[in-house]
Structure 1
Amino acid sequence: MISMSRVLAVDLGKSRCRLVVADPTRRPAHEGTGAPGLAAADGVSAALAAVETVLAEVPDGMISALSIGAAGAWAAPAAAQRLAGLLAARVLAPVAVTSDVVTAHAGALDGGDGVLLIAGTGAAALGTDVEGARLVDGWGPDVGDLGSGSWLGREVLRAVLRAADGLGPATSLTEAIAEPVGAASDIIPWLAHGDPLARRLATLAPLALDAAEAGDEAAAAIAAEATRLLTASAVAASTTPDVVLHGGLTDHAWFRARLTDALSAAGRRVRPPVGDAIDGALLLATRFDLPHERFVHRAE
């Protein structure tokens, strides 16, 4: 029988790697740098290095099980299985590796059915019901992440460009982007340089939501479409009514209220999360009967 006092959970994102030892307070926690994602080139090596860095803080012989939610694991199951095997040999204990979206869902819904709707820089909906588990969207900013922060930012720039060329209504977004981007003529150069584009686009999302709340016509249309797209993803992900919201866009009170209303009109109810991705990883460390199991890669 696995001792829960020696179960370790890791939340491995692209910017941060966080490890928690299971105890009544889930502390102490150890933090390090994240990894590019298991689907990236050399993703397994980078993930292994990130996890080993935080494992170095744990005394030898303390681990009875290790459970990891890793960015990119959904799109790279072979890499997730390889990481599980390498870590099992390292810690000499059972290891479970799955997507950070899966651990977030399991934690948010305490292993039960429902939808985790993620609306941050990217967007995705993971849902479980009697038919199994489904991931909707999460396709990345080039072809998906519909209704996300990066999607909103792109639509902001389109609205400004359309207004400048007389193809759309004048919009307060033109003034709103003056400081972070510049004039309409600066948009194309701004897109070509700097940090990862999706992240930069997402920084413009609050401008769209604030302008929509203030009554700007173009911004209101963008926010309405984001609401529609996110609601459609949540509905497609599961037939069960419960939806938990997650991600930076849902921290905007005006937008969250409209998204909640749209979900309610679609027969869904928004509920608060039970826990987080660390809770989900701890749950998946010792539970093999959850709907997430087919997405969990295990090794001993």
Structure 2
Amino acid sequence: MSGAPAVRIGVDLGQGGCRALARHDGRSGHGRTPGFWSGQPAARVADAVGAALADLGPVPDGPVAVGLGMTGLNGQSPPVDDLRARLRERGLRGTLDVADDSVTAYLGALGPVPGAVVAAGTGVVVLAAAPDGRTARVDGWGAALGDRGSGHWIGRTALRLALRQRDRDRAGALLDATVAAFGPVETLPARWRERPPTPERLAGFAGTVAELARAGDPDSRSVWRRAGVLLADSAVAALRQAGLAGADVPVAGTGGVFAAADLLLPTFTRALRVGAPCARPVGAAADPLAGALALCAGPAGRTLFTGLVVHCDIEERAGKR
């Protein structure tokens, strides 16, 4: 390889979208493609990397350092062979670091320090890390089995409440919003059997539920309050598994759900203090895309998560570090 500094590329592969950020010599390039649920995640990642590099503009011939946080792993080792091949097809060489998106969410929110991070967007996953190297991952089971308190959970729960309003012949703002977003409720079951909604579509409805909650709708407010309790419950479970339930450590929330802090944080904070009184709720320093960049920046980004990151050369056989 030449002596040119590596172009750093962070990639965040979520359920609803894949974002890439390329940085070199003070310049940045951005790329975005469909997410995990669109299929062929390796292709989506490679396309996002290519788009970010194109947006970055000309750089000296040299290596790249790619850091990827991806959903859909459920604690399993990430498959990297297909991705490495697709990156090579684009003429890229250098290093590749891949981890579950909980790791990159953690690095973006807190950096390489002990604590816990609740990443709540379309889905939700919590990761806690202790000074002795123990880690604990909670939830992240996907929309059908878990993701309690996620955007998908909020959208689905609100939809169910709206249908209960319909069954009770009780008009309400939530029912009106459901009809506006999804069509007549009488034909909803048949239409959804034919074409089930994607998790991100239901998660998108959470934004409408937030607007209704801020306007004073009691059912919508109750959904967001319950989401805060569920997310705190998962954070407490992760802290306990990592041996941190009684420790003075930061707990950060990140992701689109936490953008509605006014609706979520009151119950989240109360429930967290009950389950882990010494934990300190803090704001996230940055997002998972920044965490993906930190992952490929050098060993410091991987030290806290030994065994959870696959590090390899794009041209060579992968191996864990």
Q: TM-score, normalised by structure 2?
A: 0.75
After TM superposition, the structure 1 = structure 2 runs for residues 1-300 of structure 1, keeping only pairs within 5 Å, are 5-14=5-14, 15-23=17-25, 27-34=26-33, 36-37=35-36, 42-55=40-53, 57=57, 59-63=59-63, 65-73=65-73, 77-80=77-80, 83-84=83-84, 87=87, 91-129=92-130, 130=132, 132-166=134-168, 171-189=172-190, 191-192=192-193, 196-213=197-214, 216-238=217-239, 239=244, 240=247, 241-258=249-266, 259-266=268-275, 267=277, 268-285=279-296, 286-287=298-299, 290-300=303-313
State the Cα distance separating 1:195 from its structure 2 match.
8.6
CA gap of 1:63–1:236, structure 2 versus 1, over 3 A, is same
User: Any gaps of 5 or more consecutive residues in structure 2?
Assistant: 314-321
CA distance in 1, matches of 2:153, 2:53: 36
User: What is the letter of the counterpart of residue 273 of structure 1?
Assistant: A
One-letter amino acid of the counterpart of residue 197, structure 1: T
> Which stretch shifts more, 128-137 or 61-70?
61-70
Structure 1, 55-64 or 231-240: larger mean CA deviation: 55-64
What is the distance in 2 between the residues matched to 1:207 and 1:99? 29
Deviates more, 1:209-218 or 1:222-231: 209-218
**Distance apart, 1:297 and its partner CA:** 0.9
Whether contact under 8 Å (2:11, 2:49) holds in the other structure is: no
RMSD between aligned residues = 3.4
TM-score normalized with structure 1 length = 0.80
Give the 3 Å change call, closer, same or farther, for CA 70–51 of structure 1 in structure 2: farther
For residues 112-139 of structure 1, give each alpha carbon's deviation from its aligned partner in whole angstroms, at most 9, with x where no partner exists. Answer: 1222212222222122123522221122
Q: Is the Cα–Cα contact under 8 Å of residues 19 and 31 in structure 2 kept in the other structure? A: yes
Q: Would the alpha carbon gap of residues 21 and 212 (structure 1) be closer, same or farther in structure 2, given more than 3 Å must change?
A: closer
Classify the secondary structure of the residue corresponding to 1:178: helix
Q: Which moved more, 1:97-106 or 1:76-85?
A: 76-85
Task: Report the alpha carbon displacement of residue 49 of structure 1 after superposing the two structures with TM.
Answer: 4.3
Aligned match of 2:318? none
Q: Which stretch has the larger CA shift, 71-80 or 218-227?
A: 71-80
